[in-house]
Copies of this chain bind each other. A is one copy, B any other.
């Protein structure tokens, strides 16, 4: 990929470089009614409604002022990847070094560029169906080692099928949203009688989520090789988990209230287009895939992921683990192909989370459950405290970015705080 510069001052190694141009929904002056669609560039948000009104997107079909004035990206994304990527490329062009179209119109720029620090972000999409997969081999193996069989940790279906389940759409919130520690039925391992109390085993799960931009009819399927037409892009995702609630409730129908109190999503959706330079081949597999899951295009992405924890007493976040989205066993195209293999309809604004992303080593695990290995290896924090699970006042921050030389495409921060 060729390097190019912007005439706009963008700090080095900024997640929202000229190579990125992610989309989101912002508002200013605490006025929720002003919410509209934007694109991030450095420390600015590009007001897409303004950009359109001043005529800078005139050559792109199907756009309208109204589409950018919505408080969700669903309408924009429904125009399809060709249109959305044209807007992205047009913005890259307008802000590239040698282009003076917009640069020479300070009276436009003043309205188009909103300082990110003065804006607040909303959930970028209205979430339709939400699915959470379980597609990291190391994560599934760790869970199996802890709770089933050290030597044979994977269930027989795991390497054949991208295991997943439906989660609760209404509890997906944007980065920065705090939430109360949930209550629920808890049952100590040596008891058969539950109590109703606050969860004592609050955890995070580091995930990424992809967002669909197509509506399919019942009975229609999507193959792995066609799936990229139905996916706009990715966000960071925190599938907060109350382990004690989950353990008691999940047999036989899966996780329910141990997850549905809150899930957090980063506000900027990074397009597959922007991530394409970082695509990788799949790791080799010892179990052959069924035909409907075979993917001949690159479907893994080299995205560095970091987990930070900050207690109320700490002055800054503390890095507790690093991993990478490339560790996925099943890629996002296979996940969508599997989900639609029975003809289940996809909507614009579905969210498909990856499942916890763990790497092969303990410093690359994606949950406290794994990092502290079921409470046997407490995590020490710089404030002198230790953790097996999260405490009230703890803030968890995920960061993610892809980088090659000076070319960086990042996701910004995803943060959330547990309140008492």
Q: Which one, A59-67, A254-262, A361-369, A389-397, is touching chain B?
A: A254-262
Which single member of B156, B166, B183, B219 contacts A168 (CB below 8 Å)?
B166
User: Which residues of chain B are near A339, meaning CB under 8 Å?
Assistant: 257, 260
Copy tally for this chain in the complex stands at 2
Q: Which one, A97-105, A228-236, A344-352, is touching chain B?
A: A344-352
A194, B343: Cβ atoms under 8 Å? Answer: no
A160 at the interface (CB under 8 A from B): yes
State A169–B342 Cα separation when bound (angstroms): 15
User: Which residues of chain B are near A152, meaning CB under 8 Å?
Assistant: none
A157, B251: Cβ atoms under 8 Å? Answer: yes
User: Which residues of chain B are near A242, meaning CB under 8 Å?
Assistant: 342
A338 to chain B, nearest CB (A): 7
A249 at the interface (CB under 8 A from B): yes
A185, B160: Cβ atoms under 8 Å? Answer: yes
B290, A260: Cβ atoms under 8 Å? Answer: no
Which of chain A's residues 315-344 have a Cβ closer than 8 Å to chain B? Answer: 338-339, 341-344
A164 at the interface (CB under 8 A from B): yes
A292 at the interface (CB under 8 A from B): yes
A161, B194: Cβ atoms under 8 Å? Answer: yes
A233-251 interface code vs B (CB 8 A; 1 in, 0 out): 0000000001001001111
B261, A165: Cβ atoms under 8 Å? Answer: no
State A341–B256 Cα separation when bound (angstroms): 11
Q: Give the interface of A toward B (CB within 8 A).
A: 128-130, 134, 155-157, 160-161, 163-171, 173, 179-180, 182-185, 187, 192-196, 218-219, 242, 245, 248-257, 260-262, 290-292, 338-339, 341-347, 350
New contact pairs (13) apart from A156-B187, A166-B166, A260-B344, CB-CB < 8 Å: A155-B251, A156-B192, A160-B187, A161-B185, A163-B252, A164-B253, A165-B256, A170-B346, A179-B219, A184-B341, A194-B290, A252-B254, A261-B344
